[in-house]
């Protein structure tokens, strides 16, 4: 099995193999290499993964997923659910939250503008994300943020069950089982996961932004229980 460092290097090689849209100006502005993937933050030992769409400018600047406005809402929820109160003022980047979850995205690069990556780009990097979640990460609960992140898991679910859940009014309280597949040196790895969909926590998502903290808290209580 390749190490996590080898996985990241192989993602970089794939990015260099053929062009695809990257918001290079954002990387250049903060002195970062556009082809260097920002794969994950947090711990691979965590029971829960928070799975977002892709990187924003704040994530590129900090070199971590989910650290912009929406990401900070996620991190704050993780910290408060675990510790039962707000983080200290000294923890401005909410780094303490990284002790309790894995944070990653469908693609470890920033697309131009605020548009999601095309399906072809997601499929190109899918094997690497599948390996991260199925082989390197030890947990089995995935909180997906928004439609794009949830739909990434369609190939690993019953499509009818997927559509039925997404059509439910209470979809942000429901769960969906799936079996993630990844290729390892020993052959195909199949890992059962439970998907816990949530809306994307962007401030632009007016319908759900104010409701997001409570929705996340309920999801984390289901993962950790009342006493994490």
Looking at residue 5, its pLDDT comes to: 97
∠ CA 214-87-136, rounded to 5°: 75
In this predicted structure, the answer to whether residue 107 has a pLDDT above a threshold of 80 is: yes
E-state strands within the chain: 40-42, 48-52, 102-105, 141-145, 176-184, 187-198
The full set of domain ranges for the chain reads: 4-224
Q: Which of 12-16, 112-116, 212-216 has the lowest mean pLDDT?
A: 112-116
Q: What is the pTM of this model?
A: 0.95
Predicted confidence band at 87 (pLDDT cuts at 50, 70, 90)? Answer: confident
Predicted confidence band at 155 (pLDDT cuts at 50, 70, 90)? Answer: very high
Percentage of the chain surpassing pLDDT 70? Answer: 99
* Residue environment code for 115-124, b if the CB has 16+ CB neighbours within 10 A, otherwise e: ebbeeebbeb
Average model confidence (pLDDT) for the chain? 94
Looking at residue 211, its pLDDT comes to: 95
Looking at residue 60, its pLDDT comes to: 97
Name the region of 63 (left: φ>0; alpha: ψ -120 to 50; beta: rest): left
In this predicted structure, the answer to whether residue 94 has a pLDDT above a threshold of 60 is: yes
Looking at residue 228, its pLDDT comes to: 55
Of residues 154 and 186, more confidently modeled: 154
Predicted confidence band at 187 (pLDDT cuts at 50, 70, 90)? Answer: confident
* Residue 183 β-bridge partners: 188
∠ CA 80-66-133, rounded to 5°: 95
Domain 4-224: CATH superfamily is Uracil-DNA glycosylase-like domain (3.40.470.10)
Mean pLDDT, rounded, for 175-182 = 97
Looking at residue 144, its pLDDT comes to: 98
> Measuring CA to CA, which residue among 164, 179, 174 is closest to residue 198?
174
Mean pLDDT, rounded, for 41-47 = 96
Looking at residue 226, its pLDDT comes to: 47
Looking at residue 149, its pLDDT comes to: 97
């Amino acid at each position: 099995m390749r190490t996590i460092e080898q996985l990241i290097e192989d993602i970089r090689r794939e990015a260099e193999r053929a062009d695809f849209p990257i918001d290079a100006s954002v990387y250049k502005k903060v002195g970062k290499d556009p082809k260097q993937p920002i794969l994950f933050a947090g711990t691979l030992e965590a029971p829960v993964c928070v799975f977002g769409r892709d990187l924003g400018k704040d994530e590129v600047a900090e070199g971590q997923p989910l650290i912009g406005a929406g990401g900070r809402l996620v991190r704050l929820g993780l910290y408060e659910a675990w510790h039962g109160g707000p983080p200290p003022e000294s923890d401005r980047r909410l780094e303490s939250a990284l002790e309790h979850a894995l944070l990653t995205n469908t693609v470890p690069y920033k697309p131009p503008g605020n548009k999601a990556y095309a399906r072809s780009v997601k499929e190109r990097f899918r094997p690497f994300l599948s390996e991260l979640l199925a082989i390197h990460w030890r947990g089995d609960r995935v909180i997906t943020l928004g439609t794009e992140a949830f739909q990434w898991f369609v190939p690993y679910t019953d499509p009818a069950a997927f559509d039925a859940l997404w059509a439910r009014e209470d979809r942000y309280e429901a769960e969906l089982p799936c079996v993630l597949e990844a290729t390892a040196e020993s052959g195909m790895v199949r890992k059962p996961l439970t998907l816990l969909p949530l809306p994307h926590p962007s401030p632009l998502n007016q319908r759900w932004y104010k409701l997001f903290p409570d929705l996340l808290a309920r999801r984390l209580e289901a993962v950790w229980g009342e006493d994490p």
